[in-house]
Every structure is written in C-alpha cells, then in structure tokens.
Chain A
C-alpha cells in the first residue's frame, strides 16, 4: 500500500516536473476554451436552434472525443515505457512492491492528473451560471462520464506503455486502440443483425457521453468502464511480469 502510494506520488511529481504536462495542460485549456466559445456564440445566434451550452460542451460534438483520446494518449505514454528504457524499473522491481502496486500506483497518478486537467472547466459552469440558471444534475452526470471514460482510456494507455520501451510506440498503440474503442460503437448503424446492433449499441461511447450530458447515468455503463479498466490494469501487471521471463 505504502509502496503503491510512493509510486503514485513520484509519478504525479514527474508530471508537474516535466514540460509535457504543461503542454498538455495548455493545449487542453485552449481547445476546451475554444470549443466553449464556439458553442456559446453558436447558441447566442438567434438563427440557430436553442440548446443547452453545457450539454453541447460535453456531448454531441467531436471536440470532447478529440480531447479525451489525445489526453489519454499523452498522459500515459511515458508511464511505464520510460522506466523500461531508463532502467529504473530494476529499482522498482527489486524493492518490496509488487507489479500490481506499481501499475495501480502509476495509473492513479495519471487519473489524478487527468481529473486535475478537467477541473478548470468548472469555470465554464460558473460563467454560464452568471447568465442563466443551470441544471446541476446533467453537469454532475457529465463529469461522471468524463471520469469514467477517462479512467478507461487511461488504463488502455498504461497497458500500451508497458508493451514498449519506446514512448512513441506506446503513444501510437494507445492512440490506435482508443480510436478503435471509441469508434467501434459507431459501427452500430453499419452492421447487420440485431445481436451485433445491440452489442455495439452498448459499447457506443458517443451515445454514452450524450446521455451523460443529458443527465442520464446508466450504471451498466459505469460497470463497463470499471471492469474494462480493471481488465487492462490486470493485463498491464501480467505484461510486466512476463517481461521478466524474456
């Protein structure tokens, strides 16, 4: 437990000590601010249909997904691959911490930093609140969705990061996997067969996020994120253990 926290704390420190984190943070806020500005100016134009700005911010646009997929990739690509490359993994694996503790510790650090990235977007809620009453339910639900889907994406990234010494390889693998994970649900409307439609419909992250933004929290979806996250973290642990045997 202590070992896991030690790993998580060092990893968080590493985020704030590296330029990558600040670049991600800057662009994240730029993109989010830009998106928010577009949405607000779109809605304030009387020619266009009325809508709820925050619902649009979290769901129904591609921007959320671009941000999710890119942050999922950039925040995780370094995590384990850098330890493998530099050799610090040797110190980690010869101290009294298990592979699982290392993996979970690193994952937690990524998750905390990810949530930290999203925290400033609460300002948009405050801004909207200044002009119009807001419905808190859908907003809370949106953040639950952001946290859940983010948690899943980060676990994929951690897994990919354990596969290679090379951060770039880890990033490419993560990006591709996240793209598949995101778009597989979109195939819902392309496939034949009721069963396939249903399966893919359940996995359709786009509708998930749309629903979250409308305030619908379906616990089955949360279970999906949690179990898939657990699966990827388990696979990461296995991958680290397997590295020793080669």
Chain B
C-alpha cells in the first residue's frame, strides 16, 4: 500500500534518516519503534508528504507522493506528533474544516461527522472551543480529523504520548478498531503499545532500520539467554557462588534489595531450574521464587538500541553489589 524506497533525509551535515526502505501492506498494522531522536518523526514526515526526502521516494499505491499531483495525499490520514489545532475554532467547526480541506463535500461531511465524533469519544465537547480542551481531547480531535475523510492509510506519530492512563486505553482501543479496515503505521517509544497493537514492528535507531518482524519473531530471534529469577527466603553464605557453579548458568546477578534475590542468565538451550531446586534442598535454603524470565520486546529493544550493546547498562550494577 505505502512503500518507502531507500529514504534518506539530511539536515545540513546531520543525517536523520539513512537509507530506510520498507513497505506496509494493505490492512497491516505496523509499529515503528525507536528511542527519541532515532528518526521516527522524520521518517513519518516523509511518508506523509510533509518533508521531501533528500534521496529516495515514497509511493502510495504505486503513485509518487512527491509528484505534482497533491491528490495522492488524500489517501493518507495523519496524526502528527504535536497535534496542532486552531485554538479559536470549535471542535465540530474544526472537523468540518478538515473535511473541506480533504475535498469532501458538505453532504459527505454531515453524514460522516456524527460517526467520527462518536468513535473518537468527542460527543460531550463537540461545541467546545479547542483552546479550552485538555491534551487528551485535543489528541482525539486530531485523530478524528485524520480519519474523517476515510483515508486508506493512517499514520499516527506517538498517538498516546502525554495522555493519562485511562485516555491511553481509550485511544489504543480506538486504534485497534481502526486497524480493522485501515492500513496503519504507528510510531511510538512505548513498547507494550507495540506488542498490543502491531502485527509487525520496525525498530529504528540512528536513522536506520535495525530489526524488523512480528513482535514474537523479534523476541525469539533476539532472545539470547534464557533467564531465571530466583529468591531465597533469607541470605546465606555461598548462595552466589553455588548458583554460579551450576551447569549452564552463565552469569549471576544479585538484586540490590533483597540481596538474596538473583537473576541468572543461562546458556542457550539449558534450563537449570531443576538443578536450582535440588541445590536449594541440599543446602537447606528455602526457595520463595523460581521463575523463568522471558526476554521481552523491551530487552530486544534495549539490546538493539543501546550503543555499547547489551551488557553496558547491566555491568555497573554487578560491580557495585559485588564490592
């Protein structure tokens, strides 16, 4: 449906996006994940026709987005990161304006408006002046404006940022619902959001796609070590060493609080849980917790986007406790 071919965007000497290529198929929900400043918004601005790429192109259903025909943009509904609205207008006035801008006629707008207002939970603020609305409502007005003309592709840049938990749930629900029948590209740096919403994930870092796939496949592919979390009832001498000596255990990381709680990283394919249980029985240590720690998408994300790969963030902690 929408395809980015080798997109590069430079701002002066700084390369914000560097040779990004991907496609979003019809009906797909794709999440774009990346730390702040990774180039997500720049990529999205190129995909929506706001920012022309330095090199590369964007096509929508085969048509070039930066060609002479601005009508192509009608197929895209876009919710920018900072939802900017006209504060002096009322909510319904704004939405009517958006409809006109997208080339809808009066009758079509009148037909569509009540449905959109209801879907975006704007019923009670319809006649309110936008300048007086809270951030959550503004976000929803922006979203309503983006879907009003029923575009084929929806691009949402950080749709839940700055919302309270209740609003986040409402917006997510709405996005999930929109995913049925729309092609959707959502950018976010909130990981659970991606796991909840998206069938496919692009991880972007320093302007490049560093990983791509379904949340499950990414987890599987990047799940290096099987982890186990254990906690003893009380500390005892030799716990750390005994755990480290077990077959298949690669590293043992004690928690700060309490000190008799450990996270073990295990070699691929090994599962020392039975061994741990036996060890505890043997030494007379009471186990109060023994749980597998599955690598979350968060781990994958951190691993892929941390500059000094993986251990850099964990290492200082170990030393601190050991000393």
**A172–B159 alpha-carbon span in the complex (Å):** 38
Interface residues of B in 42-66 (CB under 8 A from A): 45, 48-52
Q: Does A245 touch B at the CB level, under 8 Å?
A: yes
* Shortest Cβ gap from B323 to chain A (Å): 50
A148 sits at the interface (CB 8 A): no
Any B CB within 8 A of the CB of A227:
no
Residues on the B chain within 8 Å of A6, using CB: 97, 100-101
The count of residues in chain B whose C-beta lies closer than 8 Å to any C-beta of chain A is 29
Q: Which residues of B contact A (CB under 8 A)?
A: 11, 45, 48-52, 70-74, 76, 78, 80, 82, 84-86, 88-89, 93, 97-98, 100-103, 145
Nearest-Cβ distance from residue B166 to partner chain A, whole angstroms: 26
B73 contacts A94, CB within 8 Å?
yes
Complex alpha-carbon distance, A92 and B94, angstroms: 13
A91 / chain B contacts, CB cutoff of 8 Å: 78, 80, 84, 98, 101, 145
Instruction: Name the residue of chain B whose CB is nearest to the CB of A16.
Output: B88
Q: How far is the CB of A217 from chain B (nearest CB, A)?
A: 37
Chain B: CB-nearest residue to A89: B84
Which of B52, B72, B84, B88 lies in contact with A90, CB distance below 8 A?
B84
Partner among A9, A88, A89, A93 whose Cβ is within 8 Å of the Cβ of B49: A93
Q: How far is the CA of A98 from the CA of B70 in the complex (A)?
A: 6
- Complex Cα distance, B100 from A92, in Å, reads 12
Is A14 within 8 A of B49, CB to CB?
no
* CB < 8 Å neighbour of A245 from B45, B52, B71, B86: B52
A residues 75-121 in Cβ contact with B at 8 Å: 86-98
The answer to whether A3 touches B103, judged by C-beta atoms less than 8 angstroms apart, is yes
Asked whether, in the complex, the Cβ of A3 is within 8 Å of the Cβ of B85, the reply is no
Query: Which bracket fits the contact residues of A?
Result: 20 to 34
Q: Are A96 and B73 in contact (CB under 8 A)?
A: yes
Kindly state the separation between the CA atoms of A138 and B278 in the bound complex, as whole angstroms: 109
Tell whether A95 pairs with B73 under 8 Å between CB atoms, given A2-B100, A88-B84.
yes
In the assembly, what is the distance between CA of A75 and CA of B90, in Å? 23
Q: How far is the CB of B184 from the nearest CB of chain A, in Å?
A: 16
Shortest Cβ distance from B135 into chain A, in angstroms? 14
A13-B89, A95-B98, A95-B102 given; 16 more Cβ-contact pairs under 8 Å: A3-B101, A3-B103, A13-B93, A88-B85, A88-B86, A90-B45, A90-B78, A91-B78, A91-B80, A91-B84, A93-B49, A94-B78, A96-B72, A96-B74, A244-B50, A245-B52
Are the C-beta atoms of B103 and A96 separated by less than 8 Å? Answer: yes
**Beta-carbon contact of A93 and B101 below 8 Å:** no
In chain B, what residue has the closest Cβ to A83?
Answer: B84
Q: Is the CB of B76 within 8 A of A10?
A: no
In the assembled complex, the CB of A117 is this many whole angstroms from the nearest CB of chain B, namely: 20
Sample 24 A-B pairs with CB under 8 A, ordered by A number: A3-B101, A6-B97, A7-B101, A13-B93, A14-B88, A18-B88, A87-B82, A90-B50, A90-B78, A91-B78, A91-B98, A93-B49, A93-B50, A94-B49, A94-B50, A94-B76, A95-B73, A95-B101, A95-B102, A96-B70, A96-B74, A96-B102, A244-B50, A246-B11
Chain A residues contacting B101 (CB-CB under 8 Å) are: 3, 6-7, 91-92, 95-97
Is the pair B100, A87 in contact by a Cβ cutoff of 8 Å?
A: no
A146 to B107, CA, bound (A): 39
Q: How far is the CB of A86 from chain B (nearest CB, A)?
A: 5
Given A10-B86, A94-B76, A3 and B100 contact (CB-CB distance below 8 Å): yes
A22 CB to nearest chain B CB (Å): 13
- Check A97 against B86 for contact (C-beta < 8 Å): no
Q: How far is the CB of B152 from chain A (nearest CB, A)?
A: 13
State the CA gap A87–B89 with chains docked (Å).
Answer: 16
A5 touches B (CB below 8 Å): yes
